Chains A and B, each alone.
Chain A
C-alpha cells in the first residue's frame, strides 16, 4: 500500500479522481454515481442549486463523509485507505468554524501543533509559518485577536490561512463567499485566485453562483439532484450547454416552447436547423444577448413592446413583451444602441434571435 508521502512538497499538486461515487443519508440518495476528475493544481468549481449534492461531494472528497459506493482517489491512491490526517485536506467551512477560544495565530498554528511529535515543526518553525501566512493573507496586526473580534472577510482569510498551514494536498472550500456581502465578494474572488495560484494547490470550491464559478474556476462541474449534468472549462459549459438544466442555470436565458420538424425549428419568428429529424415538441433557450433589436420601422423580426429598461450595467437590460407570451422576455442591448434614444419604455420594437439552443421535450 502506498501512502501519500507526509512530506509531499507543494510543487506537485494532486489529481483527484471520483469514480461512481454515491452517497445516501437514510433512504435519501444525495449523490448518484458521480464521476469526475479534478486536474492537479487547478481551481475547480462545483456549481449547482441548493440540495444538488455539491457540498456532500466536497465533504466526501475531504473524508468528512464516507461515500456509500464508489471510489475517491488522490493521485491514484484510494482515499478510503487514508486517515483524515493522511489525506491532508485543507477544508474551509462555509461559516469558517474558527476555534473561538483561540487567537488568530493559534487558529492558524493548530494543524501544526497537533502533529505527532516526530513530524511536528519546532516552535520557531511554527511561528515562522504563521507569520508567513499572516502576511500572505494580509492579516498582520490581527494575531492576538479572537475570531469574535474579526469581520466576516477577515474570518474567511483566517480560515484559509489555517487550512493552508498544513500544506494541504488539496484545498476544499464550501461556499467560500456565501457569508460575505456583495462588495467584499468581488474583491475576494480575484484575491482567492491569486492565493491558489501562489500556493500551487489543487482547489475545489462549492458555489451556487454561476458568475462566481465562471469567473474564478479553470473547470466547472454543474450538479443537479446528486448528478453531474455537465463538466468542462467555463467556456465549454457556457457556450455549449448539454442539458436544459445547464442551459437554465448558466446565463440570463429565456425559455420558449417550440415545435420542430423537417430539420428545422421555429422560435420567436426565426428558423434554425436542428440535428434530428421527425416532428415533435421542443424547448428552446435564447440568452438575453442573443437577440438583435431594432426600432419597429426598419427591419424584420417579431414585434414586441418594451416593458422595462434597466440601464445599470455594461449592457442595458430590457424586459419586453412578445405577442401573447405571458412572461416577459429578457433582452440585452448595447449601451450605444440605447443611447441613440430610439428604444424607451413603452416603445414598440422588433426582436430577432440570432442563436438558439433546442432540446427535445421529454415525452
Chain B
C-alpha cells in the first residue's frame, strides 16, 4: 500500500519541484553537469592528458573553448573529466554518510539507554571542523578516492544522525508504532518499516546538502593537495595548478571555480526546494 502511494506521489513531487523556477533552474544545471561528466568521453573535444608545448596557455577560442593550461592541455576537456571525480565524491559521500547517520540516529533515537552515549558521540564528531577532520583522516588512511569518500562520510554522518534521531524520538511515540509493538512486531521491522520509512524526506534533504558540502570540501582538499591522486584532474587541483598563472591566464582558475560554484549552487537550490516541497513545516523561510 505504501509502495502504491509513493508511486502516485513521485510525479507530483517532481511537478511541485519544477514549478518553482529557481528549483527548475538548479535541477537543469545539475543535469547538464551530470550529463557532461557521464558522457565526457563523447563530448570532450580533445584528449585530457595530451600535452603540447606549441599550444600552451592559449586563451579561450573556437578551438580551445576554455583555453589551454601550462602543458597545452584543453581546459574544457579536463573540466568535464574532473567533474566525474567531484560527482563521484559527492554522490558516494551523500549515500554513505546517510547510511552511517541513519544507523547512529536510529540507535540513539529508538533505544533510550543508548541515546545519551550516541548523542555525545555525535556532539564530539561535530566538534571537528569538516576540512580539518577530513585531511586528518586522509592523512591516516592514505590518499585515495575511496578513503576520501570514507573520510568525508565520517565527517558528514553526524548531520544525518541528528535529523534521524530527532525524527525517531517523535515517531517512536506515535500510536501506530505502539500498535505495531502491541501486535508483537519485531524491533527490526518497526525500525525499518514503521520508523525509517517515515523519515525518508528529511534524510533526502540532508543528503542533498551533504552532496553539495562534500563537493566543496573535495575541491578544498584537492586545492590543498591532500585529496585524490594528483595525476587525476579535479576542479580543486586545476585551480591550484592555475594559481601561478593568475593575471596572465585567468581562464585556468575561472572555469573550474565556476564549475564548483554552479554545481554546489544547483544542489543547494534543489535541497531548499526539496525541503519546502517535502515538508512545508521545515521550510520556515530559511
The answer to whether A and B belong to the same complex is no
- A contact residues vs B (CB 8 Å cutoff): none
